[in-house]
């Protein structure tokens, strides 16, 4: 094993279930260190389900997931927990605690997982909030700031433990387009400054076409990966009507209906 050349994430033949129901078959892909990787597709195709399998929230039915050359799927529970400490996760509905300030929210993972003093935690929290454009907002409560600022604070919390890999489920959900684009720029900055590997679940075309290095497109028809590649290249080159339907919905709507 050589962790300097290994992929950040290696997924082989993964089968993802919700209860008894198979949602995705034979999912195989890899993510390079520092890559801004998207999991895309329409509502209900299994994006969140895949994410939960990747981070160990749902049990893997078949196949394997490895991080930086280390097998995650077959690791014992203690080793898995250790590996999970290198993940920063921001869930689709991952809310902040409303009774705590933004700084207190971001400090939580540090309190739980480190032996840092309050002063040391405060310094890290200020730096994490500054990284997401929230410098000076430490003492505000979630209800006092905008939806976009709450998303940023949730990202700062995911960054608290200096994760090697960040997982975001629909980071821009519910944001207006301008706020969403500014969040995209923040995500790019984090990747460029910290070289963090990122896996972003999204169905928002402006983000997908704007910032993704590469993506897998999931589709219900195939219960798995329908297409893989840089989204703009998929848009330019894919002949599959289902790929075009997702990446260029206006074209599909504007096209004359076939006889």
Instruction: State which of residues 18, 74, 111, 146 lies at the interface with ligand ADP (CB under 6 A).
Output: 18
Nearest distance in Å: CB 133, Mg ion = 25
Nearest distance in Å: CB 92, ligand ADP = 8
Can residue 48 be called a binding residue for Mg ion (CB under 5 A)? yes
CB 202 within 8 A of CB 246: no
Closer of 16 and 125 to Mg ion (Cβ): 16
Q: How many CB atoms lie within 10 A of CB 217?
A: 25
Scanning 37-45, 104-112, 191-199, 206-214 for contacts with ligand ADP by CB under 6 A, the matching segment is 37-45
Can residue 44 be called a binding residue for ligand ADP (CB under 6 A)? yes
CB 173 within 8 A of CB 113: no
Can residue 45 be called a binding residue for ligand ADP (CB under 6 A)? yes
Largest CA distance in the chain: 71
Can residue 49 be called a binding residue for ligand ADP (CB under 6 A)? yes
Strand partners, 40: 202, 217
CB 191 within 8 A of CB 198: yes
- CA dist 34 and 17 (Å) reads 29
- CA dist 40 and 176 (Å) reads 19
Can residue 214 be called a binding residue for ligand ADP (CB under 6 A)? no
Closer of 57 and 255 to ligand ADP (Cβ): 57
Closer of 35 and 170 to Mg ion (Cβ): 170
From Mg ion, ligand ADP, none, interface partner of 243 (C-beta below 5 to 8 A by class): none
- Return the percent helix, strand and coil in the chain, to nearest 5: 40, 25, 35
Closest CA to 174 of 146, 155, 138: 146
Can residue 48 be called a binding residue for ligand ADP (CB under 6 A)? yes
Scanning 5-13, 41-49, 141-149, 151-159 for contacts with ligand ADP by CB under 6 A, the matching segment is 41-49
Hey, what are 98's tokens?
A: 């409303």
Which residues are at the interface with ligand ADP (CB under 6 A)? 18-19, 23, 41, 43-49
């Amino acid at each position: 094993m050589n962790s300097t050349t290994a992929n950040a994430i290696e997924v082989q033949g993964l089968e993802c279930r919700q209860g008894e129901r198979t949602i995705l078959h034979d999912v195989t892909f890899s993510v390079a260190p520092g890559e801004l990787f998207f999991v895309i597709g329409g509502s209900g195709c299994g994006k969140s389900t895949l994410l939960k399998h990747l981070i160990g929230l749902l049990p893997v039915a078949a196949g394997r997931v490895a991080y930086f050359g280390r097998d995650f799927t077959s690791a014992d529970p203690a080793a898995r927990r250790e590996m999970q400490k290198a993940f920063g996760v921001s869930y689709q509905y991952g809310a902040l605690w409303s009774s705590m300030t933004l700084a207190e929210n971001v400090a939580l993972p540090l309190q739980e997982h480190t032996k840092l003093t309050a002063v040391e935690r405060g310094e890290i929290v200020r730096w994490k909030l500054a990284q997401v454009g929230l410098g000076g907002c430490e003492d505000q409560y979630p209800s006092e700031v905008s939806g976009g600022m709450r998303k940023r604070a949730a990202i700062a919390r995911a960054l608290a433990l200096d994760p090697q890999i960040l997982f975001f489920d629909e980071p821009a959900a519910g944001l207006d387009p301008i706020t969403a684009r500014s969040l995209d720029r923040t995500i790019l900055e984090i990747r460029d400054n910290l070289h963090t590997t990122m896996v972003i679940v999204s169905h928002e075309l402006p983000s997908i076409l704007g910032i993704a290095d590469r993506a897998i497109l999931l589709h219900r028809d195939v219960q798995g990966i329908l297409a893989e590649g840089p989204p703009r290249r998929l848009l330019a080159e894919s002949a599959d009507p289902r790929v075009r339907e997702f990446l260029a919905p206006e074209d599909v709507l504007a096209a004359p209906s076939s006889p």
